[in-house]
Amino acid sequence: MGLGKDKIRGTYKPIWLCNSSEFGLDNATTCEVFDFSTNAWRYVLPASPCRILDEQKPVYLDGSLYGLTEGEETKVLSFDLHTET
């Protein structure tokens, strides 16, 4: 779970990142954004092809959330809160 601010619109967005192996999508991370206008979560597609490291929370910096991936090679996964990509 992460929280950040869309630096263009000035709105806050709760983000839920989930390793999706339990949904049959091995080695992928799904993302949901809470939409305050509908009071509901919505999926952001496509899912990331990497699994996010569960032990660390995403870090917010300058309009994006950043997290580390798990696997043979650790990578930085970024999520822009304005474009939702």
Q: Is the pLDDT of residue 80 over 90?
A: yes
pTM for this entry: 0.80
For 3, other C-beta atoms within 10 Å of its C-beta total: 14
The reported pLDDT for the residue numbered 27 is 66
Amino acid at 55: E
Q: How far apart are CA 27 and CA 25, in angstroms?
A: 7
CB 4 within 8 A of CB 29: no
Where exactly are the structural domains of the chain? Answer: 2-80
Half-sphere exposure of 5 (CA within 13 A, CB side): 7
Pairwise CA distance, residues 47 & 18, whole Å = 10
**Position with higher pLDDT, 4 vs 21:** 4
